[in-house]
Each structure stands twice: as C-alpha cells, then as structure tokens.
Amino acid sequence: MIKESLIKPLKIADLPFNQHIGLESDGDMVLIKQQQYLLNHVGSLHASVIHGLAEGASGHYLIQNLLPLFPQSLVLVKNASMQYKRPAMQECQAKAKVSDAALQHCIDTLKRRNRAILNIPVTVLCEHKIIATAEFDWWLRVPK
C-alpha cells in the first residue's frame, strides 16, 4: 500500500530517498551538493544521483503546479529518459519547465477523465553549464 504522506509531500526533499541523497528545494529549483558517498569512480556525481535530482525536479514541479488543484492525486513516473552531457563536479541544480498549454491540457484531461499523463522536461546545471537533460512522463489519477 502506498502511504498517503509519500504521495503528497509538502516538499520534494521530504521523501526518504531524496533525504538520503540530500536533495533540497529553493523556489523552482532542486539542488544537490556533491558529497563523497554520491560520487562515481572518476570523482563526479554518480549518474543515478543526477537522475534522482532530475526526477526530484519533475516531482517538485507537480507539487507546485498540480497537487494544489488535485490534492488527492496519485502520481507515479511512467517513463523517463535522460541524456548526460558532461560530468558534474560541483553542486548541481535542476529545474522542470512545462509549457502553459501542456499543463492546461493535463488539467482539462484530469477533470474530464480523472487520469492523465504529463511530460515534464528537466534541465540539470552544474556551474551554470547544462550537464544533463531529462524528460519524465508522470501518470496522474484523481478520485472520482
């Protein structure tokens, strides 16, 4: 059974995995600091940590933009794609950006069908350079 507190956290950083890797939110951004236990064999942030940061940013977007309208929603990642561009050697930030039209389409679909999929693109930056881009398809369901 999925705990309701895990479906609708007040902050993305409240989720246990995100606490483990040290995610923090600041406005629209989600941040992670480089820590020894998060590094790979070449001393940069491990790819799975960058993926977790990007997924956290997409979830943060949902918390800010959809869950206030549909607080009883069940939201789960359905698909994810990630493109890594360069190593992350310092603190990283990630931000999700969805077009107003795509967000409105999702809202309208949820109202009409009680379920929808929202694609959330994310950009991950380190030292003001793009180190990765990602897209997450979130499946959403609201009670009838």
Query: What is the per-residue pLDDT across 32-48, written as a single tens digit (0 to 9) for each?
Result: 999 999 999 999 999 99
Residue 1 pLDDT > 60, yes or no?
no
The whole-number average pLDDT for the span 14-40 is: 95
Confidence of residue 4 (pLDDT cuts 50, 70, 90): very low
Domain boundaries, the chain: 4-141
Give Cα 14 distance to the centre of its chain: 13
Lowest average pLDDT, out of 7-21, 64-78, 105-119, goes to 7-21
Residue 7 pLDDT > 50, yes or no?
no
- State the first-to-last Cα distance of the chain, in angstroms, to the nearest integer: 19
Domain at 4-141, CATH homologous superfamily? Hotdog Thioesterase (3.10.129.10)
